[in-house]
Chain A
Amino acid sequence: MKVTKLKKKSMNKTLNQGLFIVGVMILWELVARAQWFPVLLFPSLSSVFVNLLTELVNGEIGGRLLFSLYLIGAGLGLAVVTAAVTATSALISPIISDWVQALMAVLHPLPGIAVLPIIILWLGTGPQSIIAVIWFSSIWPLITNLHTGLRSVPATQMEAGRNLGLKGIALIRFILLPGAFPYILTGLRVAWARAWQASVAAEMVFGASGGEGGLGWFIYKKRFFMEIPSVFGGMIVIILVGLLVERLCFEWVEVRTIRRWGMTSE
C-alpha cells in the first residue's frame, strides 16, 4: 500500500518537473519566434537543436566533450588522490589536522577560477593549467567531506574493527572508508559539479589551445564566430552530461550503497 503510494508520489513529481521543463522550452520557442530580441542573440530552440544535431554528426561537439571529460577526469582524479592523502594524514596526526582545517577555512571560499591568473603565470596556458584549476576547485569539497566523514564513523565500529585485529591501513580501508562513504559520495558530487564549472570557466577565460579545447573553448570560439545556436548547444550538452552523470553514476551508486545500508538521512 505505502510503497505504491510513495511510487505514485515520485511519479507525480517527475511528471510535474517534466511538464515544467517542456513548458519552459515552449515559452523559449515562442519568445524567440516573436523576435522581441535580436534573433542573432536569442535563437529559437528548434534552431539550437538542429545545430546541435549537425555538430553531433560532424563530431566536433563529441570531440570537445571527450576532451572536457579528460580534463575533468585528470583534475578530479588528482584531487581525489590529494584529498585522500591529506585527510588520512590529518587523521593520523593532530598537527596536520590543524593545518588542514586552517587551509580549508582560508581556501575553501576561494572560487577555483580566481586562482587562474596565478596558475597561468606558474604553469602557462594549456591543459595543465585547466587541470590545475579543476584540481583546486574540487579538492576542498572532497577534503572537507572526507575530513568530516572519517570523524563521523562511530567509535564502537572502530573498536569492533580493532577487536578483529584491524589496524592502520586495513582499519581505514575496511572500516573508516565505508563508514565515511555517505560523506565521500557527497564530496564527490560537489567536486564533480565544481570541476565542470571550473573547466568551462577556465576555458572561457583564456581559451585553451584550439585543437585541445573542451566544451568551454567550444562555446568561447562559437561566440566569437557569432554562432549563437552553437553556444546554446554547448550549454545543453553540459546540462545533459551533468544530469546523466548525476542520474546514472551518483544515483546508481547511492541506491546500491548508502541507501541500501540505511546510511542516508532521507
Chain B
Amino acid sequence: MVSNNEELVIENLDKTYYLGERRINALERINLQVKTGEFINIIGPSGCGKSTLLRCIAGFEKPTNGRVKLRSNEIKGPGIDRMMVFQDFEQLFPWYTVLGNIVFALKVTKMIATAKERKEIAKHYLKMVGLAGFEDLYPHQLSGGMKQRVAIARALSVQPRILLMDEPFGSLDAMTRSTLQEELIRIWKETKVTIIFVTHNIEEAIILGDQIIVFEANPGRVKEVIKNTLSRPRSPEANDFSQIWERIHKLLGFKNRERVLEERNLIRLFQEERELSLLPHL
C-alpha cells in the first residue's frame, strides 16, 4: 500500500563491504519510510553506516540486498532528484565562480535553456542562502560556512525532491553552525524539500528533525526511530528538549551525567573513533 505522501521507502537494505578477508556489515536490514517534505535526522556512532545509507539513497553505492525506492521507483544510480551536500569543503568546483558553480549545475542538467535565465535562477538561490553579492568570488576565496551555503544553493537549484546532507555543518564552528541550522529550517519551509540529514550532534538532530533515527554500529542497524514533535523554533533550554536529548544520549550508550560536559566528551570520543575508523583505509 503505497500512500501518496510516501517519498522514499527503504526495504530490507543490506550493505556489505569486503576488505580482503574481512567482512564489514556496514548496513543490515534497514527499513525506513520517509514522507514527502519531512526532515529526517540520522544520528549514530562513527562507522555505523550513516554515510553508506546516504550514498545508497544518492545512488553512488548499490545495496548488497534490498532496495531503495523513490516514489515507488527503484533507484538505479545518481540523479538530480536526490542532491547530496557533503561535509568536506572541496565539493565546489574551484574553476567556477560561486555563480558559475550553480549556472554549471543548471546547464549540464539541461534544466534551464537560456544563459540569462540560468543566471537569474542561480542568483535567486544564492540570495536564499544569504550570499547575494558574492557571485563573482571563487571558492578558494570563501570561508568554510560560505562554501557550505553555496553547496546547498547548488543542490537546491536543480530542484531535487530530496536533499541528502552528510554532516554538512560538521566542520564549522558552533556559531556558524547554529546560524546555518536556522537558515536551513527557513529554506526547508520555503522550498518544501524533503531532507535527510546526518549528524553527530544530538542537539543538532533535535533542533532540525521531525524524526530522529538512531543507529547502532557493527552491524549498522536502526536502533530506534524517535518522533520529534517539539514545536519550532526549538530551544535547547526547553524541558521536553532535554528529555529527548537524554533519551538519545542513553541510546547512544552513555550513562546519565552532566549534559554539557557530556556533549563535549561525546564529540571528543567521536573524533577519536573517527580517526580509528579511518585507520583500516590508510
Contact surface of A with B, Cβ cutoff 8 Å: 154, 156-157, 159-160, 162-166, 170, 174-175, 178-179, 181, 257, 260-263
> B188 at the A/B interface (Cβ < 8 Å)?
no
The number of residues on chain B lying at the interface, defined by a beta carbon within 8 Å of a beta carbon of chain A, is: 26
**In the complex, are the beta carbons of A159 and B94 less than 8 A apart?**
no
**In the complex, are the beta carbons of B94 and A261 less than 8 A apart?**
yes
Task: Collect the chain B residues with CB atoms within 8 Å of residue A178's CB.
Answer: 93, 95
**In the complex, are the beta carbons of A163 and B95 less than 8 A apart?**
no
Interface set, chain B 90-123, CB cutoff 8 A to A: 90-95, 104-105, 108-109
CB-based nearest A residue for B55: A159
Given A156-B86, A163-B78, A165-B78, do A181 and B105 touch, yes or no (CB 8 Å)?
no
CB-based nearest B residue for A181: B95
Q: Shortest distance in angstroms between B155's beta carbon and chain A's nearest beta carbon?
A: 8
**In the complex, are the beta carbons of A162 and B60 less than 8 A apart?**
yes
Q: Which of A162, A163, A179 has the most CB of B within 10 A?
A: A163
Q: Which one of B138-146, B222-230, B262-270 is at the A interface? A: B138-146
Of the A-B pairs whose beta carbons lie under 8 Å apart in the complex, a sample of 10, sorted by A's number, is A157-B93, A160-B91, A160-B93, A163-B82, A165-B80, A170-B108, A261-B94, A261-B140, A262-B139, A263-B94
**In the complex, are the beta carbons of B78 and A162 less than 8 A apart?**
yes
**In the complex, are the beta carbons of A156 and B141 less than 8 A apart?**
no
Give which listed residue, B60, B91, B93, B109, contacts A165 with CB less than 8 A. Answer: B109
Given A257-B95, A263-B95, do A156 and B90 touch, yes or no (CB 8 Å)?
yes
> B26 at the A/B interface (Cβ < 8 Å)?
no
Task: Collect the chain A residues with CB atoms within 8 Å of residue B80's CB.
Answer: 163-165
* Separation of A166 and B262 alpha carbons in the complex (Å): 44
CB-based nearest A residue for B91: A156
> B158 at the A/B interface (Cβ < 8 Å)?
yes
Total cross-chain contacts (CB, 8 A)? 66
**In the complex, are the beta carbons of B138 and A260 less than 8 A apart?**
yes
* Separation of A181 and B104 alpha carbons in the complex (Å): 18
* Separation of A156 and B91 alpha carbons in the complex (Å): 5
> B58 at the A/B interface (Cβ < 8 Å)?
yes
Give which listed residue, B78, B91, B141, contacts A157 with CB less than 8 A. Answer: B91
> B84 at the A/B interface (Cβ < 8 Å)?
yes
Give which listed residue, A154, A165, A261, contacts B90 with CB less than 8 A. Answer: A154
Task: Collect the chain B residues with CB atoms within 8 Å of residue A257's CB.
Answer: 95
* Separation of A172 and B141 alpha carbons in the complex (Å): 25
* Separation of A157 and B90 alpha carbons in the complex (Å): 7
Give which listed residue, B79, B82, B84, B109, contacts A160 with CB less than 8 A. Answer: B84
**In the complex, are the beta carbons of B93 and A159 less than 8 A apart?**
no
Give which listed residue, B92, B94, B105, B138, contacts A164 with CB less than 8 A. Answer: B105
> B83 at the A/B interface (Cβ < 8 Å)?
yes
> B135 at the A/B interface (Cβ < 8 Å)?
no
> B204 at the A/B interface (Cβ < 8 Å)?
no
Q: Shortest distance in angstroms between A211's beta carbon and chain B's nearest beta carbon?
A: 45
Task: Collect the chain A residues with CB atoms within 8 Å of residue B79's CB.
Answer: 163, 165
**In the complex, are the beta carbons of B108 and A174 less than 8 A apart?**
yes
Task: Collect the chain B residues with CB atoms within 8 Å of residue A170's CB.
Answer: 108
Task: Collect the chain B residues with CB atoms within 8 Å of residue A179's CB.
Answer: 93, 95
